[in-house]
Amino acid sequence: MRDISVLTAALEIVEQRLREPMNAADLAAACYLSYSGLQKLFGYAFGCSVSVYITKRRLSLASRALLESGASVTNIAYDYQYGSPEAFSRAFKRFWGISPDKFRRTRRFTELQPKFIIERDQGGFDMLKRKPLDVSELYDELKKLGGTYVLSVDIAGFEKVNKNYGYAAGDAVIAETFARVERELGEDMLLFRIGGDEFAAVTRFEALADAEALARKITGMNGTCVPFEAHEIPLSLRIGICQIPTGGLSYQKALNILAESVEKTRCGGDLVAVL
């Protein structure tokens, strides 16, 4: 239980200090834990280092600032603790695959790295169950959209990408998945990352046929490669389609519906599956 308390506190401190000077050693000290102890806990619970998580959270919030504020790229860079606009632009391009200026002109969604959360299972805390992300914004939307369809998007063979090409390549594939789905969504649709390699597209469609047509349009890009360093990595997506129930939708029930939808695509042979 102490480990859970430490991780919960660490996640909250990160959110509070994303626009302040902070590194992994600072965070460990704030949690009254050794640097190595916090790194081990983070790696076990979330599969990444503290520094990587802090960087990705800063870049996600910087992405939102690019779209929602009139601040210059330079001011946003300094605001999120980058020493220069050039350093920020390099990190941003590694994260999203495009420059901050192009992102501001062409993109709509920003949560490529949502906040990690600690999930409680019925028997206690299960930190190996799945990469737990804060999807409270998605839940707020789903509560208003009962009877409509959501696409649960999963990257086929994502584990092999990380294994064969490294985690930086995996990040590039995640970013391209986000972009590929976003390009096909209508102006009133929303896109969220809900897991390590899982996404949810809120379509607002009330007709299943419309949701299926959109899903097949997205999967029509399957096999197109993602360039990464000297490699061309094929990217294929699987999509589960689920209908949001009307009334009485709890946060956990919403997560379960999306997870079951993704799981159906993994178990079946079709790239598009209806829950």
How far apart, in whole angstroms, are the C-alpha atoms of residue 78 and residue 226? Answer: 31
pTM value > 0.75: yes
Domain layout of the chain by residue ranges: 2-106, 135-274
Which amino acid is it at 223?
G
pLDDT tens by residue, the chain, 275 residues: 578 889 999 999 999 999 999 999 999 999 999 999 999 999 988 889 999 999 999 999 999 999 999 999 999 999 999 999 999 999 999 999 999 999 999 999 998 999 998 765 544 444 444 457 898 999 999 999 999 999 999 999 999 999 999 999 999 999 999 999 999 999 999 999 998 899 999 999 999 999 999 999 999 999 999 999 999 999 999 999 999 999 889 988 998 899 899 888 888 767 888 87
* Fold match between domain 2-106 and domain 135-274: no
Cα three-residue angle 227-91-68, rounded to 5 degrees: 105
Q: Of the CATH numbers 2.102.10.10, 2.60.40.10, 3.30.70.270, 3.40.50.1820, which one belongs to the domain with range 135-274? A: 3.30.70.270
Pairwise CA distance, residues 261 & 128, whole Å: 20
What's the token pair of residue 146? Answer: 């009962």
Question: How far is Cα 39 from Cα 191, in angstroms, rounded to an integer?
Answer: 31
How many H-runs (helices) and E-runs (strands) does the chain carry? 12, 9
The superfamily in CATH containing domain 2-106 is Homeodomain-like (1.10.10.60)
Looking at residue 259, its pLDDT comes to 87
Q: State the Cα–Cα distance between residues 269 and 272, nearest whole angstrom.
A: 9
- The bridge status of strand 120-121 relative to strand 124-125 is antiparallel
Say what the pLDDT of residue 241 is.
95
Angstrom CA distances, 151 to 3, 148, 216, 222, 265, stand at 35, 10, 11, 16, 11
pLDDT digits over 30-88, tens only?
A: 999 999 999 999 998 888 999 999 999 999 999 999 999 999 999 999 999 999 999 99
